[in-house]
Every structure is written in C-alpha cells, then in structure tokens.
Amino acid sequence: MAKSKCFSFTASRNWCLRSTFTNSGLRPFSADLGDGTVMYCWVPKTPNPTRPNVVLIHGFGANSMWQFCDTVPYLTPHFNVYVPDLVFFGNSVTTRSDRTESFQAECVKRVMDANSVGKMSVVGLSYGGFVAYSMAAQFGECVERVVICCAGVCLEEKDFREGMFPVADVEEAAAILMPQKAEKMRELVGYTFVKPPRGLPSCLLEDFIDEMCNEYVEEKKELLRSIAKDKDLPKISQPTLIVWGDKDRIFPIELANRLKRHLGENGELVVIKNTGHGFINEKPKEFHRHLKRFLLAQQKIPPLNSTTNIPINHQNHI
C-alpha cells in the first residue's frame, strides 16, 4: 500500500516564501508566449519608474523563491525586481524542443517585454548565469549590466576529460544536480557548501526531492547537455561583475579567472573567501553588499517601453 504524506516541510516553506515575496512588494505573473511556452515570473506590484530594473535568474535545484529568498527583500527597496522561473522549473513550461540557454534567454526577455521592461540588469546564479550571459549577448540594447554568479560559461568539453570537475562527464553531473535519492541529495549538499549541514534526516531530503526534483528530469538533463557543448563564447560589452566562492567544487574558480580574462577590463572579479558554490547562502551579507554596489553604479535611466512582433497573452495570478 502506498504511504500517504500528511505534512510536507518543503510545501510549507514554499507557502512561507510566497509570503516573503508578496511582503516585499512582488506578485506572481504568467505569460503565454503563444508558441507552446508559458513563463511564470514574480514582478513588482507597482513598478517605480525612477528605479533600475533587475532580473534575478536562478540555477538548478529548487524554484526561484528558494534561491533568492534573502536577495529579494534586500533589493526591492532600491530596484524593480523581477524573478522568473526558467523553462522546466517552477511553473514555466514549453512544448518546444529547444534546450539551449539562448532559448531560455529569449523566454526571459519576452516575459520582460510583457511587463514593458525596456532596460534592465541581469543577475544569473549558476545555470542562470549561462542564461544571463546569453541575454547580454543577444539583447545588448536592453541589458545594461550583468552579474555572473558561480556560472562556468567559459567551460569546455575537454575540462571534464582533464579532471577539472569532480565528475567525469555530464551524465554523472546530472545524477548529482537532479538527485532522486536521499544519498544523492547529501552528495549535492556536500559539493555545494564548504560546511554542509550535518544530520539531515532522509525523510526531509526525500520530501524535498518529491516536491522539487521529480518533474521534467529528462528535459533538465538536456539543458545540462546543451551548456556542456563547446561553443564560441561572445565577448559581451556590458560592465560585468563575476562573483565566485574560492572553494567552489561544482564550477571551480579557474572558470572565474577564465571568464575575467575573456572579458578583460569589462569584467570585475570578486572572490568570496571560505565559501563554495552556495556562497549566496553561506555569506549572503558579503554577496549582497557587492551586488548592490555594482548595480547602483548604473545610470538612473527610466525604463523604456519595449515592443515585440510576437503575440503575447498574459495573465495575473493571485
């Protein structure tokens, strides 16, 4: 007989995080892009035209609320903050077969169009950094500043063969990044933090997997395979802040140095000491201080209206 679950800590925390985002002045919004793609995004209830627009783009793992739960309350007093769920995460889905970060970037841009956001800065965390970088490359007239957080956008396929990563290939990485069992979740936590929490009960980890990791598993594997393919990385012209943990085991710091060399004087590298891939959780105050300083350095230009030739039907959701 199947075991029924009367309480889910993960679902309860989701409810609390929705309240955090709502109390920070955001509301949920969905856009039907008209091509089989639906994008879900947290948007300002009342955008302030005198404030810069900032888009926070999450990585693999939990939904965007979990990944930016501390960042959103910190930024909303100073910025119009937008937090999309990428395709196959949260409530965003597509029937299209494209799995590239450039497609994800296009979808984020189109949901920004649906909210009449013309100028913006983009902040990408891990996989979200690949999407943010692609947005900067594709939509240079709209993206003013870029923040790349622990995202190995400069990685090459040979890096796996040459032992840069603790895993041998993308398939092994996928088994860790999309855990289906408690022991794999513990392994992921160990890779993510310098001092991972101890004594996590299996029932709690399995509850998280049930709520966050069981949907669109094959599609997410295809997303990982796409970013691991060799491609010519364009050199973006926007001012770019690169933030990394010095002990990152998922995307080693050599990839941060490689990106800084690629961008030259347009790139600024900040290394947060004694942190890993999860520095946003390990030292949030230090990260947020660098983030706010960099984003507020932009000129205060009111956002322009943006138009698109692609029909967009959008709805508000309470």
Interval 56-66: pLDDT, tens: 999 998 789 99
Residue 49: both structure tokens together: 């035209």
Task: Give domain status of residue 199, yes or no.
Answer: no
Residue located via tokens 């007989």: 1
Q: In the predicted model, what is the mean pLDDT of residues 229-257? A: 94
46-105: pLDDT as tens digits:
999 999 999 999 999 878 999 999 999 999 999 999 999 999 998 999 999 999 999 999
Question: CB neighbours of 7 closer than 8 A, spacing ≥ 6?
Answer: none
CA torsion, ordered 26, 28, 33, 35, to nearest 10 deg: 140
Domain count, the chain: 1
- Letter for the amino acid at 29? F
Decide: 298 and 144 in contact? Cβ < 8 Å: yes
Name the pLDDT band for 302 (thresholds 50, 70, 90).
Answer: very low
Task: Give domain status of residue 265, yes or no.
Answer: yes
Task: Give domain status of residue 73, yes or no.
Answer: yes
Task: Give domain status of residue 202, yes or no.
Answer: no
- Residues in the chain, total: 318
Given a cut of 60, whether residue 311 has pLDDT beyond it is no
Task: Give domain status of residue 185, yes or no.
Answer: no
What is the spatial distance between Cα 263 and Cα 235, in angstroms, rounded to a whole number? 6
Decide: 302 and 17 in contact? Cβ < 8 Å: no
End-to-end CA distance of the chain: 37
Domain span at 292: 26-160+230-299
Decide: 242 and 235 in contact? Cβ < 8 Å: no
What integer pLDDT is reported at residue 173 of this predicted model? 83
With a pLDDT cut of 70, the percent of the chain lying above it is 92
Q: In the predicted model, what is the mean pLDDT of residues 304-313? A: 40
The CATH number for 295's domain is 3.40.50.1820
Task: Give domain status of residue 182, yes or no.
Answer: no
- Letter for the amino acid at 78? H
What does DSSP assign to residue 69?
T
Task: Give domain status of residue 253, yes or no.
Answer: yes
Q: What angle do CA 94, 47, 89 make, to 5 degrees?
A: 20
The average confidence (pLDDT) of the chain is 89
What integer pLDDT is reported at residue 229 of this predicted model? 86
What is the spatial distance between Cα 59 and Cα 39, in angstroms, rounded to a whole number? 16
Task: Give domain status of residue 155, yes or no.
Answer: yes
Residue 135: both structure tokens together: 């947005």
Q: In the predicted model, what is the mean pLDDT of residues 259-270? A: 97
- Give the H or E element holding residue 84: strand 80-85
What integer pLDDT is reported at residue 306 of this predicted model? 39
- Letter for the amino acid at 88? F
Q: Please state the φ and ψ torsions of residue 41, each to the nearest 5 degrees.
A: -155, 140
- Of 42, 14, 18, the closest CA to residue 30 belongs to 42
